[in-house]
Amino acid sequence: MAGPLRAFVAWMVWVGGSMALPAFPFVAVMAGVALSALGLWRRSRRRLRAVAIFMIPLALGFGLVHGGVVGFLMGSPAAPSPERVRWAAGLWLRILSVVSSGQLWLEYVPPPVLITSLFASSLPAGIGFLLASPLLLGEQIRARLEQIREAQLARGVPVFGSFAERASALTALLFPLVLGLLNDLPTRVAALDMKAFGLFRRRTSLKNAAVAPRGTPEKTALAEEAQLAEQPQLAGKPRLAETAIRLEGVRFIPPAATEALLEVPELRLSSGERLLVTGDSGSGKSTLASLLSGGVPEHRSGTVTGNALVLEEPVASRNTLAWSPDVQFVQQNPQLSLSGCAFTVYDEVAFGPENLALPPDEIRGRVDGALAAAGISHLKDRDPARLSGGEAQKLALASALAMEPGLLVLDEAFTRVHPSDVPVLAGKLAVWSEARRSAVVFLEKKREPFAPWCGASGHLSDGRLLPGTPPESRRTSSDPGRSPAPRIAGPAEGALLRIDGVSFRWKGQDHPLFRSLGKELARGERVALVGPNGAGKSTLMRLCAGLLPPESGAVLLNGRSVTSMNPKERAGKIGFLFQDAERQIFHSTVEAEVLFSLRNAPLSGEEKMERLHKALEATGLAGKEKKHPLDLNAAERRMTAVASLSVAEPELLLLDEPTRDFDARRQELFEAWLAERPGAVLAVSHDFDFVSRGFPRVWLLDDGEIRADEAPEKALHCSATLAE
């Protein structure tokens, strides 16, 4: 703390001097000194601009208000008194002195340094949190706003244009942003609780302790394995509890409901064992996870009846915060589990153990072990906000492992991890759990690849947890007989979409992402776009949707350039389902949200309602018209966006990873819906079964080119090879 604090006190003294001393000559000299220091120090020189941008208009303003300029123009006889001019000039110098010295202080103590030193100081950690978290959230808000802007633009909301249009666009941007942020609130709070923030009065700070080497930056997989095996020796006290979970006749009832949302007749899990619970979206997996981590009623309102013991203690005897040293819960969205207090991956993982006030050496050992177990040792100096989805999920896992819980609950914690990494992680978790005698619960949609690592399994269906494996699912990936045949198999007459010599590069990049791409999509044709991560699949979709302008070439829909159409017109012809489809939602009922897509359509009220009901029927949302979209589960929220596309009946559907949140039942529903669409479809997907069932043609995008334009089997084989 010493450096930044001393600098702050020095600055405050300077501010006091600038305010109290006579303006001439003292403050004039001070302002000169501060300004020249700012200009002479190389690091701070760029800040002169900020001073100039503020001080020059201010000087003009002073001239206007105190220099008698307006009076002179209006023919007022009295010139300003010399005292007033002198006073105004003095005041301007005082402000200059304060502002310049302030910029010097800011350069000397940039926000991350200030915040880390606040956390290391004896001040309450809450102060550090309030300053750090908004700064780190700012990044997330900007990214989210960009997604919302794009989604609304694709729906035809004019984000640019006349004042009235911009003002109306404001609500379409602002409401999804604010409601979305507030909607994530319980998850964020639970994540902070889970990191034991505020559990003890004192916390350890690694920044305060003498700096110890953090290990070599590069670690081989072998070294990680070795470290993992050593980890038990680093661990603290052995767990005493023999039984990790014992639930008997447990029922969870939400407020103002009579029926249980979740019912567990019996469930037992011993320490050191692993349990796999499968269930569709909305079947109660997250509720179970929340219950096991002490989240009821604080983070999930409702009551629990029956006998619920975790680590041989009634789960209701503590809240999530008090359970955090013993029970860790990793939820689906990794961005929401970030502490909002750490500027590097290493600090993020260390944050929880620091809050447990452990000795610094033990914290370092835990962090290194956890990073190795999650396979992200190489990311330790990265900014957590800038990780990919899969990396962020591994970070969330590492943060939980560093707490060394007796029970670890993973609620679909691997959805964004590359499929080939998931079995590796599951295996490492099994080793970790055996070695530490910790129990692990996997809550997943599918049994694979977790089943081999789990001794026990259960299945959630309509909120009821029963032991054993689920009844055979209605469709397995190797069953081609049931796949809904696409209505139009090959290209029909004429090209609907023409990608004509499109080149594109991101701003500031030397290397173009695409170089004169050329491709055609016929009316009614279905094409899947596949390729490795970072190949530019989503970017190509945005180019096709007219959301990004190409550097050269054009994307033509029915012979017209998509970038030349206005957003409203484009939205009537092209429907775009984004990866984060729920980000566009801003109405408070499903019905209003879906009808929003028809607001400009020349249809009668009756026709609109008819389309609405057909769309809700097809997406399985019938009966949920009056529900708040944000009260629905992830799969239903995505279906709301699908229904919005459905009613507009566009000629071209662009789908970016459409099936990510779907369970088997909804996937079937979605595929049936898709087969019924009369328009052409271009879809990005990693789900090879989905692609081979519904798409006769595949474009394989790699290295800026569409390499293969094939029947699915061959292209998918190619893509799988590239992914490795």
Partner 1 sequence: MKNKTLVVVALCIALNIGLGQIASTLKLPIFLDSIGTILAAILLGPWIGMLTGLVTNLLWGLISGPVAAAFAPVAMVIGLVAGLCARKGMFRSLAGAIVAGVLITVFVTLVATPIRTYLFGGVTGSGADFVVAYLNAVGKKLLQSVAWTVMGTNLIDKVVSAVIAWAVVKQLPERIRSLFPGTGGAA
Site for partner 1 in 329-358 (CB under 8 A): 340
Residue among 13, 226, 249, 301 that touches partner 1 (CB under 8 A): 301
Cβ closest to partner 1, residue 348 vs residue 500: 348
Complete DSSP assignment for 254-301: -TT-SS-SEEEEEEEEETT-EEEEEE-TTSSHHHHHHHHTT-TTTTS-
Cβ closest to partner 1, residue 176 vs residue 546: 176
Which residue's entry shows tokens 């929401």?
336
Number of H helices, E strands in the chain: 24, 20
Q: Using CA atoms, how far apart are residues 547 and 558, in angstroms rounded to an integer?
A: 17
Q: How big is the site for partner 1, counted in residues (CB under 8 A)?
A: 73
Residues 632-651 touching partner 1, rule: CB under 8 A, are none
Residues 43-72 touching partner 1, rule: CB under 8 A, are 50-51, 54, 56-62, 64-66, 68-71
Residue among 153, 245, 321, 641 that touches partner 1 (CB under 8 A): 321
Confirm or reject binding of residue 531 to partner 1 (CB under 8 A): no
Residue among 1, 27, 99, 635 that touches partner 1 (CB under 8 A): 99
At closest approach, how far in Å is the CB of 128 from partner 1? 11
Q: Using CA atoms, how far apart are residues 407 and 310, in angstroms rounded to an integer?
A: 8
Cβ closest to partner 1, residue 89 vs residue 565: 89
Cβ closest to partner 1, residue 170 vs residue 489: 170
Confirm or reject binding of residue 37 to partner 1 (CB under 8 A): no
Cβ closest to partner 1, residue 448 vs residue 631: 631
At closest approach, how far in Å is the CB of 29 from partner 1? 20
Q: Which residues of 329-364 are buried (b: 16+ CB within 10 A; e: fewer)?
A: bbbbbbbbbbbbbbbebbbbbbbbbbbbebebebbb
Residue among 31, 88, 392, 669 that touches partner 1 (CB under 8 A): 88
At closest approach, how far in Å is the CB of 99 from partner 1? 6
At closest approach, how far in Å is the CB of 635 from partner 1? 17
The torsion defined by the Cα of 628, 630, 635 and 636, in degrees rounded to 10, comes to 10
Residue among 158, 198, 470, 532 that touches partner 1 (CB under 8 A): 198
At closest approach, how far in Å is the CB of 159 from partner 1? 8
Q: Which stretch binds partner 1 (CB under 8 A): 164-172, 363-371, 516-524, 654-662?
A: 164-172
Compute CA distances 703 → 75, 708, 715, whole Å: 71, 12, 15
Residues 119-138 touching partner 1, rule: CB under 8 A, are 126, 129-131, 133-135, 137-138
Residues in the chain: 724
Residue among 10, 85, 91, 720 that touches partner 1 (CB under 8 A): 91
| Cα–Cα nearest to 538, from 683, 355, 692 | 683
Cβ closest to partner 1, residue 143 vs residue 212: 143
CA 601 to chain centre: 33
Residue among 7, 175, 617, 625 that touches partner 1 (CB under 8 A): 175
The upper half-sphere exposure of residue 66, i.e. CA atoms within 13 Å in the direction of its Cβ, equals: 17
| Cα–Cα nearest to 453, from 479, 476, 424, 480 | 424
Amino acid letter for position 674: L
DSSP-assigned letter for residue 27: I
Cβ closest to partner 1, residue 228 vs residue 341: 341
Confirm or reject binding of residue 21 to partner 1 (CB under 8 A): no
Confirm or reject binding of residue 170 to partner 1 (CB under 8 A): yes
Q: Using CA atoms, how far apart are residues 593 and 175, in angstroms rounded to an integer?
A: 12
Say how many C-beta atoms besides its own lie within 10 A of residue 711's C-beta.
13
Cβ closest to partner 1, residue 129 vs residue 699: 129
Cβ closest to partner 1, residue 134 vs residue 427: 134
- Under the phi-then-psi rule, with left for phi > 0, alpha for psi from -120 to 50, and beta for the rest, what region is 68? left
Residues 244-283 touching partner 1, rule: CB under 8 A, are 255
Cβ closest to partner 1, residue 103 vs residue 231: 103
Cβ closest to partner 1, residue 271 vs residue 339: 339
Residues 375-394 touching partner 1, rule: CB under 8 A, are none
Q: Which two tokens stand for residue 488?
A: 């139009």
464 beta partners: 263, 461
Confirm or reject binding of residue 82 to partner 1 (CB under 8 A): no
Confirm or reject binding of residue 76 to partner 1 (CB under 8 A): yes
Helix (H), strand (E) at residue 384? none
Q: Where are the alpha helices (DSSP H) in 624-711?
A: 634-648, 664-676, 688-694
Q: What share of the chain is helix, strand, coil (3-state, %, to 5)?
A: 50, 15, 35
545 beta partners: none
Q: Which two tokens stand for residue 485?
A: 């045949």
Q: Using CA atoms, how far apart are residues 375 and 373, in angstroms rounded to an integer?
A: 5
Confirm or reject binding of residue 600 to partner 1 (CB under 8 A): no
Confirm or reject binding of residue 588 to partner 1 (CB under 8 A): yes
At closest approach, how far in Å is the CB of 307 from partner 1? 26
Confirm or reject binding of residue 192 to partner 1 (CB under 8 A): yes
Q: Which two tokens stand for residue 674?
A: 């898709």
Confirm or reject binding of residue 173 to partner 1 (CB under 8 A): yes
Helix (H), strand (E) at residue 489? none
Residue among 21, 48, 189, 466 that touches partner 1 (CB under 8 A): 189
Draw the binding track, 548-587, toward partner 1 (x: CB under 8 A; -: no contact). Answer: ----------------------------------------
DSSP-assigned letter for residue 4: H
Confirm or reject binding of residue 166 to partner 1 (CB under 8 A): yes
Cβ closest to partner 1, residue 290 vs residue 393: 290
Cβ–Cβ under 8 Å, residues 353 and 403: yes
At closest approach, how far in Å is the CB of 95 from partner 1? 7
